[in-house]
């Protein structure tokens, strides 16, 4: 990786990934793109408005920047995708096809984040194996699974260096999450700081996998830098760091905000999505093939979140 283009750079992941890539590879080497402007993008380094579903625009941006690697983050997430499935299909599939075609023509490596959303109720729940029955029940999951297969196809057929991770829910401060089922695990911290209480849209004991954003960013970069000869499961690797329920994270939050209160107003759509996803994934393939190792557990995540939120990172 020497010259990098990031799509969907203004979102929850991109707002962390772009500064990390600029630190490692140089500010001018990383072109951030998004369909919309976000608060900080222009001042922090090169930024361009690019609709990732527009193959011509993606191709021109890659060519002008002379990118050798694309981190393709533009997507519609699970909860928004259930509200508008056709939008999710259009954005997630058209943008991926555009990026892969450009990568084939201009010989770029491509990172595409997949998700625990690729699994469905017929997948073993604890743990969901790396190679599992995959019958996702959301449009988001359908696009993510189709995306994994398309990335495998471009690697096998055209030798495009495609790599991906099945991210779990991601906890971070900074840019807010973009409309997923796991957003509660970010909202809860902000509400704890601001109001001392949170009303959760999932039930108290709904367990899912999570990861703190610094681990997620490190995982993406380590995977892209890994020896390709070792990668069997390119698209995409199960990765996880911790399993959380709303009740267990509330207990962690009470270490920092002793009077914190949580109540529940379950949203049947997002609860249905969460119930169709695994309680835990088996990430041993990532550990074996490129040395994946998380650094943050629930306690250290909560500690770091509160340190940064107390410095004014509440949105
Ligand atoms: P996000 O919703 O926060 O950000 C997505 C960004 O894509 C936004 O800035 C949006 O403006 C942009 N975008 C939307 N349509 C676009 C288009 N047509 N062209 C260009 N940009 C467009 O999402 P995120 O959390 O940063 O997720 C990034 C990727 O990681 C997605 O593929 C998502 O499925 C995946 N992922 C995220 C999580 C998570 O918990 N955040 C977990 C698993 C997988
Ligand atoms: C979502 O909830 O949609 C995302 C994801 C786990 O893919 N955070």
Q: What pLDDT, on a 0 to 100 scale, did the predictor assign at position 39?
A: 64
Task: Tell me which of 1.20.58, 3.40.50, 1.20.1260, 3.90.25 is the CATH number of domain 169-210+241-280+295-309.
Answer: 3.90.25
Residue 180 C-alpha to ligand 2 middle, in angstroms?
Answer: 5
- What is the number of the ligand closest to the CA of 216? 1
Residue 284 CA to ligand 1 center (angstroms) comes to 26
Nearest ligand to the CA atom of 83: 2
**CATH 3.40.50.720, domain 4-168+212-238, yes or no:** yes
pLDDT averaged over the chain? 96
List the chain domain ranges: 4-168+212-238, 169-210+241-280+295-309
Q: Is 141 in the pocket of ligand 2 (CB under 6 A)?
A: no
Ligand 1 atom closest to the CA of 52, numbered from 1: 19
- Ranges of residues in the chain with a pLDDT under 50 are 42
Residue 144: which residues within 8 A CB-CB, separation 6 or more? 92, 114, 115, 117, 118, 136
For atom 4 of ligand 2, the residue with the nearest CA is: 180
Give the Å distance between the CA of 117 and the centre of ligand 2. Answer: 7
* Residue-wise burial string across 86-111, b where 16 or more C-beta atoms lie within 10 A, e elsewhere: eebbebbbbbbebbbbbbeeeebbbb
Same fold, 4-168+212-238 and 169-210+241-280+295-309: no
Name the residue of 5, 17, 37, 75 whose CB sits within 8 Å of the most ligand 1 atoms, as the mutation to test its pocket. 75
Say yes or no: CB of residue 185 within 6 Å of ligand 2. no
Distance 291 CA to ligand 2 centre (A): 24
Question: Tokens standing for 273?
Answer: 């999505």
Give pLDDT, residue 42: 46
The side-by-side arrangement of strands in the sheet containing 208-212 is: 169-171, 208-212, 242-244
Q: Report the pocket of ligand 1 as residue ranges, CB < 6 Å.
A: 7-8, 10-14, 34-36, 51-53, 73-75, 77, 91, 95, 113, 115, 167, 169-170, 177-178, 180, 182
């Amino acid at each position: 990786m020497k010259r990098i283009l990031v799509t969907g750079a203004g979102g929850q992941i991109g707002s962390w990934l772009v500064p990390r890539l600029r630190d490692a590879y140089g500010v001018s080497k990383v072109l951030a793109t998004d369909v919309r402007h976000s608060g900080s993008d222009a001042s922090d380094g090169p930024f361009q408005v690019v609709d990732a579903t527009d193959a011509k625009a993606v191709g021109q941006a890659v060519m002008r920047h002379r990118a050798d690697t694309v981190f393709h983050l533009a997507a519609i997430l699970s909860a928004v995708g259930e509200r508008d499935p056709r939008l999710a299909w259009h954005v997630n599939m058209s943008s991926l096809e555009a990026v892969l075609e450009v990568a084939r023509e201009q010989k770029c490596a491509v990172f595409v984040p997949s998700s625990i959303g690729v699994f469905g109720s017929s997948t073993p729940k604890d743990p969901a194996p790396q190679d599992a029955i995959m019958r996702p029940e959301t449009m988001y999951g359908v696009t993510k699974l189709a995306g994994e297969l398309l990335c495998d196809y471009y690697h096998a057929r055209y030798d495009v260096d495609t790599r991906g991770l099945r991210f779990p829910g991601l906890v971070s401060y900074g840019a807010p999450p973009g409309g997923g089922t796991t957003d509660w695990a970010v909202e809860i911290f902000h509400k704890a700081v601001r109001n001392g209480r949170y009303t959760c849209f999932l039930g108290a004991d709904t367990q899912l996998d999570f990861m703190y954003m610094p681990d997620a960013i490190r995982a993406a970069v380590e995977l892209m830098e890994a020896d390709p000869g070792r990668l069997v499961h390119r698209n995409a690797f199960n990765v996880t760091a911790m399993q959380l329920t709303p009740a267990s994270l509330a207990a962690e939050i009470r270490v920092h905000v002793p009077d914190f209160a949580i109540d529940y107003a379950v949203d049947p759509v997002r609860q249905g999505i969460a119930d169709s996803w695994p309680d835990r994934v088996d990430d041993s393939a990532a550990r074996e093939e490129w040395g994946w190792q998380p650094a943050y557990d629930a306690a250290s995540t909560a500690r770091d979140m509160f340190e940064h939120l107390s410095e004014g990172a509440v949105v």
